[in-house]
Amino acid sequence: MSDFLATENLPDEYQQLVKSVRDFARTVVAPVSAKHDAEHSFPYEVVAGMAEMGLFGLPFPEEFGGMGGDYFALCLALEELGKVDQSVAITLEAGVSLGAMPIFRFGTDEQKKTWLPRLLSGQALGAFGLTEPDCGSDASGTKTTAKLDGDEWVINGAKEFITNSGTDITEIVTVAAVTDTDASGNKSISTIIVPTDTPGFTAGPAYNKVGWNASDTHPLSFSDVRVPRENLLGDKGRGYANFLRILDEGRIAIAALAVGVAQGCVDESVKYANERVAFGRTIGTNQAVSFKIARMQARAYAARTAYYDAAALMLAGKPFKTQASIAKMVSSEAAMDNARDATQIHGGNGFMNDYPVSRHYRDSKILEVGEGTTEVQLMLIARSLGL
C-alpha cells in the first residue's frame, strides 16, 4: 500500500534508503512514539539512531561530513518517518532545512568548517529564529535588532515557536534581526549565528502544544547577546531574501512529511477496516468505509505526485517556487483530511490515544500553518498567475 506511487521504479539508492528508514520507523520509532507523546519528552534515543544512519547529513556533500545525497533523498526519509511519528519527522526536517541548510547555502568557509560537521552528524542541532510574538507570516515586521559594537553584534529581541531550540544538543540558533533602518523606515534584515551558550540567550519554557508533543519548541529571548562580527551569515541585509529560498526548499520537505502522514492514515485505516467486525462482517466490506479509504488513497497519491514534481524541478535547477507552494498546500490538506477520515473510520477507538490515527489527528493541523500557512501558499500561487 505504501508503494502505490511506483517507489520500486526509483533508482536503487533511493529504494534502499526508503527500506532502511521504513524499517527504522517501524522498529525503533513506533514502539516509543506514544510514550514520548504522552510525556511531552524529546526522543533523544531516536535522534541518536537517525544520526547513526546519517539522516541529518543526507542532502549534503561528503566534504562537510554529509552523505552525498540530495534533497529528494531527505524527502523520501521524511515521508517514511511521517507515516509513524510527525514529531520525529519534523525534528529531522528542521534540523536539516532550518538548522544546517542556511549555513551550507550562505555560510563562509570558516562557518561551514566550524558548524556543519556536528550538525550533519546529528551530534548537534541547529534552529532558525524567524517568527516573533508580533510577526508571523509578515517577516518584514521583525523587531529583533542586531547592532555592531566594535567587532561584535549586540542582539536584543524575542522569537517564538522555534523548533529544536531548547534541546540538550542544540548548539546554535540562526537569528533574523534588523541591522539597519533607512529614512523611510524600511528595514534591512540580516541573519546571525548565535551559539546557545552565549550570555543573554534564553530558551523559555517549552510550549504546551496541541500536537507534535515530542518535538522541541520554545520561545527565545535575546538580552544584549554579543557574538563576533564574523557570525553574520550571508551578506548584510540579505537575511530575509536568503531565508525565502530556504523556505521554498523547506516546503517540499514539509510536503513530503505530510504525504507520509496521509499515507500512514491510509495504511492504519486499511488494517483496521480489515480487522474490525460490526454487524457480522468486517467494516471494510461496507462501501461507506471502503470508498472513504479510496478517497484517502487518492489524496495521498496526488500529494505525493506534487512533491515529487517540485523536488524534480529543484534538483534540475529549474524554477520550483510555485510547485513547492502547491505541493505544501495539497499535502498538508491531504494529511489533515486523511487524519480526520481515519479517526472517523476508527470510531470510538480513533478518539483514544492508543491508536496512531488519534496522534495524527492532533498533529496534522500544524502542517497547514507552519512554514507558510495555506493562505500564504494560495497568495503565492495566485501571484504566479498574475493575480
Of 178, 167, 45, nearest to 99 by C-alpha is 167
pLDDT band at residue 250 using 50, 70 and 90 as cut-offs: very high
pLDDT of residue 241: 87
β-pairing, 125-129 vs 170-181, is parallel
Asked if residue 3 has pLDDT above 60, the reply is: no
Q: Where are the domains of the chain?
A: 7-125, 126-238, 241-384
User: Is 36 strand, coil or helix?
Assistant: helix
Count of CB atoms within 10 A of residue 155's CB? 25
Alpha helices in 141-226 (DSSP H): none
Report the C-alpha gap between 365 and 363 in whole angstroms: 6
CATH class of domain segment(s) 7-125: mainly alpha
Report the C-alpha gap between 225 and 88 in whole angstroms: 31
The answer to whether 154 and 147 are in contact (CB under 8 A) is yes
Instruction: Express each pLDDT in 139-190 by its tens digit.
Output: 668 999 999 999 999 999 999 999 999 999 999 999 999 998 887 778 899 9
Instruction: Express each pLDDT in 285-325 by its tens digit.
Output: 999 999 999 999 999 999 999 999 999 999 999 999 999 99
| Average pLDDT of the chain, as a whole number | 95
Among 73-87, 164-178, 241-255, name the one with the lowest average pLDDT.
241-255
| Dihedral sign (CA 351, 353, 356, 359) | positive
DSSP 273-334: HHH-EETTEEGGGSHHHHHHHHHHHHHHHHHHHHHHHHHHHHHTT---HHHHHHHHHHHHHH
The answer to whether 214 and 167 are in contact (CB under 8 A) is no
Asked if residue 2 has pLDDT above 70, the reply is: no
> Active-site residue numbers?
371
CA atoms in the 13 A half-sphere facing the CB of 218: 20
State pTM to two decimals. 0.95
| Amino acid of residue 226 | R
Q: Indicate the length of the chain as a whole number.
A: 387
CATH architecture of the domain covering 126-238: Beta Barrel (2.40)
Report the C-alpha gap between 126 and 193 in whole angstroms: 10
Report the C-alpha gap between 66 and 45 in whole angstroms: 21
pLDDT band at residue 243 using 50, 70 and 90 as cut-offs: confident
pLDDT of residue 6: 55
CA distances 214 to 33, 92, 164, 322, Å, are: 8, 12, 11, 31
pLDDT of residue 359: 97
pLDDT of residue 5: 52
Q: What angle, rounded to 10 degrees, do the helices at 356-363 and 239-275 form?
A: 150
Return phi, psi of residue 317, to 5°.
75, 20
- The domain made up of 241-384 is a member of CATH 3.40.109.10: no
Asked if residue 372 has pLDDT above 50, the reply is: yes
pLDDT band at residue 1 using 50, 70 and 90 as cut-offs: very low
The answer to whether 128 and 162 are in contact (CB under 8 A) is yes
pLDDT of residue 182: 80
Instruction: Express each pLDDT in 42-71 by its tens digit.
Output: 999 999 999 999 999 999 999 999 999 999
Angle at 363 between CA 249 and CA 295, to 5 degrees: 85
Asked if residue 200 has pLDDT above 60, the reply is: yes
pLDDT of residue 21: 98
Average pLDDT of the segment spanning 107-121: 97
pLDDT band at residue 7 using 50, 70 and 90 as cut-offs: low
